[in-house]
Structure 1
């Protein structure tokens, strides 16, 4: 189940095994161990004045929010901040698209978590034509340089894509639509984006190939099973922090 960080990682969504799963008992045992270790490692990052940036991308309803909540549940709330990224506001749209992310990068000893991120430039802005071709095409190099500067400052960068099948997404959409307490999560835009599934998939695969680097690699998470996805996210964070800090 756990991702082997020493072997070549999968960087194409078609190659992921979406059948991976965990039982509830396996999930609870592994989560307890991982949360305890991550709590220790985040304190270590604090003592070493090391910033940590964790980026979450993926399909609508893939479970990004749930994974973030489990990741942060045992971390000292003084040490992290979650940024839910939506469309830029009127002030932000007057600046270079990275400006609003520079204003949110974590300070030394802190953890910044992006629920969606600057990668929107080569995903939604590309597919929905919010950015011109030359703008999103040059963004690969701009993002590379952006992350390189963060790394030079000492920032640990961990990037996730949570992947589910189109059928699983439809199932989750229908569950949200029929649940009065969760209906607010579902928008007309979510339904429209399903019609462009293959365009988003192509954009994501190109993004992985062009922005995966040794110090800021992508981790593609099979997320049809939420237990498996959450454990894999925490396991990758634990191992990356161990590698960089210890």
Structure 2
């Protein structure tokens, strides 16, 4: 499993791009979220829209879905040797979020007699539902109301039998989301939303460290953080956690 952080920053980042990722799973590429900085971050990482096999959308904040429409249209209006070769975008989404996401996309894609399904293929997963990408199991879990009250959201677990990771997406109420229930002996990493300042929608470092047992701290990969991260380097070192950095590839065998 090879992970390329396209960005690691929060919604209003100026330097770190939005918290979006490319997961290389065998021969398949999974894009995790598609924020408005995607048009820049994807190219800088050496990828094209047409390279992506699946995209997972965790929730509908602009830094996670604002670049999805452009990606869908760029793939649909794909030309090879002068011929139109449309590529449907396969979107993995939790069943709770499907109708809201489809409605959002329909506002621009339902034109000239076409509908969303002409451009997209939805892979709708029930809570705790799974699918295979190559020989990796991808399982979604519901985090609705745990990021912001009234916000439908989800995270996922991804991996093989003896090697998996947990991806929280944006989260504030850790206990309500029961994230620890998705951690087991196979877990090698917890990609965890961490804010280094007081925040009403994202878990702070203290909240994260207090929630997870100390023996799991070294497995925590902090993401979706503030631009001014240099101010908190000492605290990060003391916490014994990993810091995900834009463009720095992470690999798990």
- By the TM > 0.5 criterion, same fold? no
TM-score, reference length from structure 1: 0.34
Name whichever structure is richer in helix by fraction: 1
Q: Greater strand share, 1 or 2?
A: 2
For normalisation by structure 2, the TM-score amounts to 0.33
Report which structure shows greater RCO (CA 8 Å, sep ≥6): 1
